[in-house]
Chain A
Amino acid sequence: MTSSPELAPTIIAPRTPQRRTRGRTNTELYAWLFMRVSGILLVVLVLGHLLIMNILDGGVQRINFGFVAGRWASPFWQVWDLLMLWLAQIHGTNGLRTIINDYTRKDQTRFWLKMALYTASALVIALGTLVIFTFDPNIN
Protein backbone atom coordinates (compact mmCIF):
# COMPACT_ATOMS: atom_id res chain seq x y z
CA MET A 1 0.00 0.00 0.00
CA THR A 2 1.33 3.39 -0.85
CA SER A 3 0.45 6.57 0.86
CA SER A 4 1.56 10.04 -0.01
CA PRO A 5 3.97 11.37 2.60
CA GLU A 6 2.07 14.59 3.18
CA LEU A 7 -1.01 12.64 4.23
CA ALA A 8 0.83 10.45 6.72
CA PRO A 9 -0.03 11.50 10.25
CA THR A 10 2.82 12.69 12.38
CA ILE A 11 3.25 10.32 15.27
CA ILE A 12 4.56 11.67 18.53
CA ALA A 13 7.17 9.53 20.25
CA PRO A 14 5.53 7.45 22.98
CA ARG A 15 7.43 9.07 25.85
CA THR A 16 6.94 12.67 24.75
CA PRO A 17 5.67 14.62 27.72
CA GLN A 18 2.21 16.13 27.30
CA ARG A 19 2.26 19.82 26.48
CA ARG A 20 0.51 21.99 29.00
CA THR A 21 -2.11 23.99 27.21
CA ARG A 22 -1.85 27.10 29.37
CA GLY A 23 -1.17 28.23 32.88
CA ARG A 24 -3.54 26.70 35.33
CA THR A 25 -5.41 29.25 37.38
CA ASN A 26 -6.72 27.81 40.58
CA THR A 27 -8.59 30.87 41.89
CA GLU A 28 -12.02 29.30 41.65
CA LEU A 29 -10.73 26.03 43.08
CA TYR A 30 -9.33 27.81 46.15
CA ALA A 31 -12.49 29.90 46.53
CA TRP A 32 -14.56 26.71 46.48
CA LEU A 33 -12.27 25.00 48.98
CA PHE A 34 -12.21 28.06 51.24
CA MET A 35 -16.00 28.04 51.47
CA ARG A 36 -15.97 24.46 52.76
CA VAL A 37 -13.11 24.88 55.22
CA SER A 38 -14.26 28.25 56.58
CA GLY A 39 -17.80 26.92 56.86
CA ILE A 40 -16.68 24.09 59.13
CA LEU A 41 -14.55 26.45 61.26
CA LEU A 42 -17.39 28.96 61.49
CA VAL A 43 -19.77 26.34 62.84
CA VAL A 44 -17.46 25.92 65.83
CA LEU A 45 -16.56 29.61 66.20
CA VAL A 46 -20.04 31.07 65.80
CA LEU A 47 -21.92 28.44 67.82
CA GLY A 48 -19.27 28.75 70.55
CA HIS A 49 -19.65 32.52 70.48
CA LEU A 50 -23.44 32.31 70.72
CA LEU A 51 -23.21 29.81 73.59
CA ILE A 52 -20.83 31.98 75.59
CA MET A 53 -22.65 35.21 74.92
CA ASN A 54 -26.25 34.12 75.32
CA ILE A 55 -26.44 31.00 77.46
CA LEU A 56 -23.53 30.51 79.88
CA ASP A 57 -23.19 32.46 83.14
CA GLY A 58 -26.40 34.44 83.08
CA GLY A 59 -26.42 34.90 79.32
CA VAL A 60 -26.92 38.13 77.49
CA GLN A 61 -27.85 40.12 80.63
CA ARG A 62 -24.27 40.24 81.88
CA ILE A 63 -22.77 41.71 78.70
CA ASN A 64 -21.55 45.25 79.18
CA PHE A 65 -18.45 47.28 78.47
CA GLY A 66 -16.60 45.62 81.30
CA PHE A 67 -17.40 42.15 80.06
CA VAL A 68 -16.08 42.93 76.58
CA ALA A 69 -13.00 44.62 78.02
CA GLY A 70 -12.33 41.56 80.15
CA ARG A 71 -12.61 39.19 77.23
CA TRP A 72 -10.37 41.18 74.93
CA ALA A 73 -7.70 41.34 77.59
CA SER A 74 -6.99 37.73 76.68
CA PRO A 75 -5.18 37.02 73.39
CA PHE A 76 -7.22 33.82 73.05
CA TRP A 77 -10.50 35.69 72.69
CA GLN A 78 -8.83 38.30 70.49
CA VAL A 79 -7.73 35.55 68.10
CA TRP A 80 -11.17 33.89 68.33
CA ASP A 81 -13.00 37.08 67.44
CA LEU A 82 -10.49 38.02 64.77
CA LEU A 83 -10.80 34.62 63.11
CA MET A 84 -14.57 34.82 63.30
CA LEU A 85 -14.57 38.29 61.77
CA TRP A 86 -12.25 37.45 58.88
CA LEU A 87 -13.68 34.04 58.06
CA ALA A 88 -17.30 35.19 58.24
CA GLN A 89 -16.60 38.29 56.17
CA ILE A 90 -14.66 36.51 53.44
CA HIS A 91 -17.10 33.59 53.45
CA GLY A 92 -20.07 35.93 53.12
CA THR A 93 -18.38 38.11 50.53
CA ASN A 94 -17.49 35.12 48.38
CA GLY A 95 -21.03 33.81 48.69
CA LEU A 96 -22.45 37.14 47.60
CA ARG A 97 -19.92 37.29 44.78
CA THR A 98 -21.25 34.03 43.35
CA ILE A 99 -24.82 35.24 43.79
CA ILE A 100 -23.94 38.44 41.88
CA ASN A 101 -22.28 36.31 39.18
CA ASP A 102 -25.39 34.16 38.98
CA TYR A 103 -28.03 36.83 38.88
CA THR A 104 -26.66 39.92 37.15
CA ARG A 105 -27.18 40.06 33.44
CA LYS A 106 -25.10 43.06 32.42
CA ASP A 107 -21.32 43.28 32.80
CA GLN A 108 -21.64 46.86 34.08
CA THR A 109 -24.10 45.91 36.83
CA ARG A 110 -21.95 42.96 37.77
CA PHE A 111 -18.84 45.11 38.03
CA TRP A 112 -20.40 47.85 40.16
CA LEU A 113 -22.26 45.47 42.47
CA LYS A 114 -19.01 43.63 43.09
CA MET A 115 -17.14 46.86 43.71
CA ALA A 116 -19.77 47.90 46.28
CA LEU A 117 -19.54 44.47 47.89
CA TYR A 118 -15.73 44.47 48.08
CA THR A 119 -15.65 48.02 49.46
CA ALA A 120 -18.20 47.27 52.15
CA SER A 121 -16.47 44.04 53.05
CA ALA A 122 -13.00 45.63 53.22
CA LEU A 123 -14.36 48.42 55.44
CA VAL A 124 -15.95 46.01 57.90
CA ILE A 125 -12.83 43.83 58.05
CA ALA A 126 -10.55 46.85 58.53
CA LEU A 127 -12.75 48.47 61.15
CA GLY A 128 -13.30 45.23 63.07
CA THR A 129 -9.60 44.36 63.06
CA LEU A 130 -8.73 47.87 64.20
CA VAL A 131 -11.14 47.65 67.13
CA ILE A 132 -9.92 44.22 68.23
CA PHE A 133 -6.27 45.32 68.28
CA THR A 134 -6.57 48.88 69.53
CA PHE A 135 -9.35 48.38 72.05
CA ASP A 136 -8.68 50.58 75.06
CA PRO A 137 -10.46 49.44 78.27
CA ASN A 138 -9.72 52.77 79.96
CA ILE A 139 -11.55 54.86 77.39
CA ASN A 140 -13.82 57.55 78.82
Chain B
Amino acid sequence: MTSVAERPAVTPVDAPVSRPVEVKIRRYNPEVSEDVTWVTYTVEAFPADRVLNLLMKIKGEQDGTLTFRRSCAHGVCGSDAMRINGVNRLACKVLMKDMPDRLTIEPIKGLPVEKDLVVDMEPFFEAYRAVKPFLITGGNEPSKEWLQSQADRDRFDDTTKCILCAACTTSCPVFWTDGSYFGPAAIVNAHRFIFDSRDQGAEERLEILNDREGVWRCRTTFNCTEACPRGIQITKAIAEVKQALLFRRV
Protein backbone atom coordinates (compact mmCIF):
# COMPACT_ATOMS: atom_id res chain seq x y z
CA MET B 1 0.00 0.00 0.00
CA THR B 2 1.33 3.29 -0.83
CA SER B 3 0.58 6.31 1.08
CA VAL B 4 0.51 9.56 -0.67
CA ALA B 5 1.99 12.34 1.31
CA GLU B 6 -0.50 15.04 1.83
CA ARG B 7 0.37 18.26 0.25
CA PRO B 8 1.69 20.64 2.87
CA ALA B 9 -0.82 23.34 3.57
CA VAL B 10 0.19 26.38 1.67
CA THR B 11 -0.02 29.48 3.74
CA PRO B 12 -0.98 32.24 1.39
CA VAL B 13 1.65 34.92 1.18
CA ASP B 14 0.52 38.37 0.33
CA ALA B 15 2.10 39.69 -2.79
CA PRO B 16 4.54 42.42 -1.84
CA VAL B 17 2.94 45.81 -2.06
CA SER B 18 4.81 48.71 -3.50
CA ARG B 19 4.50 52.30 -2.36
CA PRO B 20 5.52 55.55 -3.99
CA VAL B 21 8.69 57.03 -2.56
CA GLU B 22 9.98 60.54 -3.15
CA VAL B 23 13.71 60.50 -3.79
CA LYS B 24 15.41 63.87 -3.61
CA ILE B 25 18.86 63.78 -5.16
CA ARG B 26 21.63 66.37 -5.17
CA ARG B 27 22.53 66.89 -8.81
CA TYR B 28 25.70 68.52 -10.06
CA ASN B 29 27.17 68.45 -13.53
CA PRO B 30 30.06 70.87 -14.09
CA GLU B 31 29.83 70.31 -17.87
CA VAL B 32 26.37 71.89 -17.87
CA SER B 33 26.39 74.28 -14.93
CA GLU B 34 28.39 75.01 -11.81
CA ASP B 35 25.15 75.23 -9.85
CA VAL B 36 23.92 72.44 -7.63
CA THR B 37 20.30 71.47 -8.10
CA TRP B 38 18.03 69.21 -6.09
CA VAL B 39 15.79 67.01 -8.19
CA THR B 40 12.94 64.96 -6.75
CA TYR B 41 11.88 61.72 -8.42
CA THR B 42 8.91 59.57 -7.47
CA VAL B 43 9.53 55.83 -7.70
CA GLU B 44 7.55 52.76 -6.71
CA ALA B 45 9.42 50.89 -4.01
CA PHE B 46 8.90 47.35 -2.76
CA PRO B 47 9.85 46.50 0.84
CA ALA B 48 12.71 44.30 -0.38
CA ASP B 49 14.12 46.96 -2.68
CA ARG B 50 17.39 48.53 -1.68
CA VAL B 51 18.02 52.25 -2.14
CA LEU B 52 20.33 51.26 -4.98
CA ASN B 53 17.39 49.61 -6.79
CA LEU B 54 15.54 52.90 -6.63
CA LEU B 55 18.52 54.76 -8.06
CA MET B 56 18.77 52.24 -10.89
CA LYS B 57 15.04 52.56 -11.56
CA ILE B 58 15.41 56.32 -11.77
CA LYS B 59 18.42 56.01 -14.07
CA GLY B 60 16.77 53.36 -16.22
CA GLU B 61 13.24 54.72 -16.45
CA GLN B 62 13.24 58.43 -15.67
CA ASP B 63 16.57 60.19 -16.07
CA GLY B 64 19.52 58.49 -17.71
CA THR B 65 21.86 61.33 -16.82
CA LEU B 66 21.81 60.46 -13.12
CA THR B 67 25.33 59.40 -12.21
CA PHE B 68 26.44 57.22 -9.31
CA ARG B 69 28.97 54.48 -8.67
CA ARG B 70 27.96 50.92 -8.05
CA SER B 71 29.64 47.66 -8.81
CA CYS B 72 28.76 44.46 -6.99
CA ALA B 73 25.51 45.81 -5.50
CA HIS B 74 25.81 43.42 -2.57
CA GLY B 75 27.74 45.38 0.02
CA VAL B 76 31.14 43.92 -0.76
CA CYS B 77 32.89 46.23 -3.21
CA GLY B 78 32.19 49.49 -1.38
CA SER B 79 31.52 51.63 -4.47
CA ASP B 80 28.13 53.06 -3.57
CA ALA B 81 28.69 54.83 -0.28
CA MET B 82 26.44 57.89 -0.18
CA ARG B 83 24.70 60.14 2.28
CA ILE B 84 21.15 58.84 2.65
CA ASN B 85 18.85 60.94 4.85
CA GLY B 86 21.89 62.53 6.44
CA VAL B 87 23.86 59.41 7.28
CA ASN B 88 26.54 57.60 5.30
CA ARG B 89 25.34 54.26 4.04
CA LEU B 90 25.97 51.83 1.22
CA ALA B 91 22.96 52.27 -1.07
CA CYS B 92 22.99 48.52 -1.73
CA LYS B 93 22.60 47.64 1.95
CA VAL B 94 19.66 49.86 2.89
CA LEU B 95 16.33 48.09 2.55
CA MET B 96 13.33 50.22 1.64
CA LYS B 97 11.18 48.54 4.30
CA ASP B 98 13.33 50.34 6.87
CA MET B 99 13.09 53.72 5.17
CA PRO B 100 10.49 56.50 5.25
CA ASP B 101 8.57 57.63 2.16
CA ARG B 102 11.01 60.46 1.51
CA LEU B 103 14.68 59.98 0.80
CA THR B 104 17.36 62.63 0.48
CA ILE B 105 20.47 61.41 -1.25
CA GLU B 106 23.76 63.33 -1.44
CA PRO B 107 27.32 62.39 -2.29
CA ILE B 108 29.59 61.60 0.68
CA LYS B 109 30.95 64.77 2.27
CA GLY B 110 34.48 66.10 2.38
CA LEU B 111 35.67 64.81 -0.99
CA PRO B 112 35.39 66.89 -4.18
CA VAL B 113 32.21 66.06 -6.11
CA GLU B 114 32.83 65.20 -9.75
CA LYS B 115 29.29 64.62 -10.90
CA ASP B 116 26.02 63.94 -9.08
CA LEU B 117 26.84 61.23 -6.52
CA VAL B 118 30.36 60.54 -7.80
CA VAL B 119 33.23 61.98 -5.76
CA ASP B 120 36.97 62.10 -6.35
CA MET B 121 38.30 59.32 -4.09
CA GLU B 122 41.96 60.21 -4.65
CA PRO B 123 42.53 62.16 -1.37
CA PHE B 124 41.03 59.18 0.45
CA PHE B 125 43.30 56.66 -1.25
CA GLU B 126 46.29 58.95 -0.80
CA ALA B 127 45.80 58.78 2.98
CA TYR B 128 45.33 55.01 2.67
CA ARG B 129 48.63 54.61 0.81
CA ALA B 130 50.43 56.86 3.30
CA VAL B 131 50.03 54.34 6.13
CA LYS B 132 51.73 51.59 4.05
CA PRO B 133 48.88 49.09 3.97
CA PHE B 134 51.04 46.08 3.14
CA LEU B 135 53.08 43.51 5.06
CA ILE B 136 56.51 44.87 6.02
CA THR B 137 59.12 42.34 7.06
CA GLY B 138 62.90 42.24 7.22
CA GLY B 139 65.44 39.49 6.87
CA ASN B 140 65.29 36.34 4.80
CA GLU B 141 62.12 34.95 3.38
CA PRO B 142 60.70 32.32 5.71
CA SER B 143 61.27 28.75 4.56
CA LYS B 144 57.96 27.53 5.92
CA GLU B 145 54.50 28.76 6.62
CA TRP B 146 54.20 31.66 9.03
CA LEU B 147 51.98 30.40 11.75
CA GLN B 148 49.82 32.68 13.81
CA SER B 149 47.82 31.74 16.87
CA GLN B 150 44.09 32.33 16.97
CA ALA B 151 44.62 34.94 19.68
CA ASP B 152 47.19 36.78 17.53
CA ARG B 153 44.78 36.77 14.63
CA ASP B 154 41.87 37.96 16.77
CA ARG B 155 43.93 40.99 17.80
CA PHE B 156 43.32 42.65 14.41
CA ASP B 157 40.45 40.58 13.02
CA ASP B 158 37.92 43.42 13.16
CA THR B 159 39.99 45.81 11.04
CA THR B 160 40.54 43.26 8.26
CA LYS B 161 36.90 43.71 7.27
CA CYS B 162 37.37 47.16 5.72
CA ILE B 163 36.18 47.50 2.12
CA LEU B 164 37.48 51.07 1.61
CA CYS B 165 34.06 52.53 0.84
CA ALA B 166 35.00 55.83 2.57
CA ALA B 167 31.72 55.95 4.53
CA CYS B 168 33.65 56.38 7.79
CA THR B 169 36.20 58.95 6.64
CA THR B 170 33.54 61.12 5.00
CA SER B 171 31.33 61.00 8.12
CA CYS B 172 34.14 62.43 10.25
CA PRO B 173 33.67 66.14 11.12
CA VAL B 174 37.43 66.62 11.43
CA PHE B 175 37.90 65.31 7.89
CA TRP B 176 35.17 67.62 6.51
CA THR B 177 37.04 70.76 7.50
CA ASP B 178 40.60 69.52 7.54
CA GLY B 179 41.24 67.48 4.42
CA SER B 180 44.77 66.62 5.48
CA TYR B 181 43.61 64.48 8.42
CA PHE B 182 44.37 60.83 7.66
CA GLY B 183 40.80 59.85 8.48
CA PRO B 184 39.34 56.75 10.12
CA ALA B 185 39.74 54.40 7.14
CA ALA B 186 43.50 54.95 6.87
CA ILE B 187 43.91 54.42 10.61
CA VAL B 188 41.80 51.24 10.45
CA ASN B 189 44.04 49.87 7.72
CA ALA B 190 47.18 50.86 9.63
CA HIS B 191 45.71 49.10 12.69
CA ARG B 192 45.25 45.96 10.61
CA PHE B 193 49.04 45.72 10.13
CA ILE B 194 50.29 47.35 13.35
CA PHE B 195 48.66 44.61 15.42
CA ASP B 196 49.53 41.77 13.03
CA SER B 197 52.12 39.58 14.77
CA ARG B 198 53.78 38.80 11.41
CA ASP B 199 54.33 42.43 10.48
CA GLN B 200 57.45 44.36 11.47
CA GLY B 201 56.53 47.83 10.26
CA ALA B 202 54.50 48.84 13.32
CA GLU B 203 56.98 51.44 14.54
CA GLU B 204 57.12 53.01 11.10
CA ARG B 205 53.34 53.24 10.82
CA LEU B 206 52.92 54.50 14.36
CA GLU B 207 55.31 57.34 13.59
CA ILE B 208 53.24 58.27 10.54
CA LEU B 209 50.06 58.30 12.63
CA ASN B 210 51.74 60.26 15.44
CA ASP B 211 51.93 63.17 13.02
CA ARG B 212 50.08 66.46 13.48
CA GLU B 213 47.33 65.18 11.19
CA GLY B 214 47.32 61.69 12.66
CA VAL B 215 45.36 59.89 15.36
CA TRP B 216 45.48 62.77 17.84
CA ARG B 217 43.04 64.75 15.72
CA CYS B 218 40.35 62.15 16.43
CA ARG B 219 37.61 63.64 18.65
CA THR B 220 35.92 60.29 19.35
CA THR B 221 32.58 61.45 17.97
CA PHE B 222 31.87 57.84 16.90
CA ASN B 223 30.46 58.99 13.54
CA CYS B 224 32.80 56.54 11.81
CA THR B 225 31.73 53.55 13.89
CA GLU B 226 28.11 54.46 13.24
CA ALA B 227 28.69 54.81 9.50
CA CYS B 228 30.70 51.63 8.86
CA PRO B 229 28.67 49.19 6.74
CA ARG B 230 30.89 46.33 7.94
CA GLY B 231 30.31 47.08 11.62
CA ILE B 232 33.98 47.68 12.37
CA GLN B 233 34.57 49.22 15.80
CA ILE B 234 36.54 52.05 14.22
CA THR B 235 36.74 54.44 17.16
CA LYS B 236 38.00 51.55 19.28
CA ALA B 237 40.68 50.77 16.70
CA ILE B 238 41.79 54.41 16.70
CA ALA B 239 41.92 54.37 20.50
CA GLU B 240 44.09 51.25 20.36
CA VAL B 241 46.53 53.02 18.04
CA LYS B 242 46.60 55.97 20.48
CA GLN B 243 47.35 53.56 23.31
CA ALA B 244 50.12 51.88 21.36
CA LEU B 245 51.69 55.30 20.78
CA LEU B 246 51.24 56.34 24.40
CA PHE B 247 52.71 53.23 25.97
CA ARG B 248 55.02 52.19 23.10
CA ARG B 249 53.43 48.79 23.16
CA VAL B 250 51.87 46.92 20.30
Contact = CB atoms under 8 A, between A and B. Distances in A.
Interface of A: 11-16, 18, 20-22, 24-29, 31-33, 98, 101-105
A14 B138 contact: yes
Interface of B: 138-141, 173-174, 177-178, 200, 203-204, 207-208, 210-212, 214, 216-217, 219, 242, 245-246
B177 A29 contact: no
A102 B177 contact: yes
B139 A28 contact: no
Given A24-B207, A28-B214, A32-B242, A11 B140 contact: yes
Contacts of B217: 28, 98, 101
25 contacts: A11-B141, A12-B138, A14-B138, A14-B140, A16-B138, A18-B200, A18-B203, A18-B204, A20-B207, A22-B207, A24-B210, A25-B211, A25-B212, A28-B210, A28-B212, A28-B217, A29-B216, A29-B245, A31-B216, A33-B246, A101-B178, A101-B217, A102-B173, A102-B178, A103-B177
B215 to A, nearest CB: 8
Contacts of B210: 24-26, 28-29
A13 to B, nearest CB: 7
Contacts of A28: 210-212, 214, 216-217
Given A28-B216, A98-B217, A103-B177, 19 more contacts: A11-B139, A11-B140, A11-B141, A12-B138, A16-B138, A18-B138, A18-B204, A22-B207, A25-B210, A28-B212, A28-B214, A28-B217, A29-B210, A29-B216, A29-B245, A32-B242, A33-B246, A102-B177, A102-B178
A113 to B, nearest CB: 13
Nearest to B141: A11
B207 A21 contact: yes
A25 to B, nearest CB: 7
Nearest to B208: A21
A12 B141 CA distance: 10
Contact of A21 (B200, B204, B216, B242): B204
B216 A32 contact: yes
B209 to A, nearest CB: 10
A111 B177 CA distance: 15
Contacts of A26: 210
A31 to B, nearest CB: 7
Nearest to B214: A28
Contacts of B216: 28-29, 31-32
A102 B138 contact: no
A9 to B, nearest CB: 9
Contacts of A33: 246
A115 B3 CA distance: 93
A71 to B, nearest CB: 37
Contacts of A21: 204, 207-208
Nearest to A103: B177
Contacts of A14: 138-140
> Which of A11, A13, A102, A104 is packed against the most chain B CB atoms within 10 Å?
A102
A10 to B, nearest CB: 11
Task: Please name the 9 residue pairs, one residue from A and one from B, whose CB atoms are nearest each other, closest first.
Answer: A14-B139, A28-B216, A32-B216, A12-B138, A102-B177, A24-B207, A11-B140, A21-B204, A103-B177
A103 B203 CA distance: 31
Nearest to A110: B178
B21 to A, nearest CB: 36
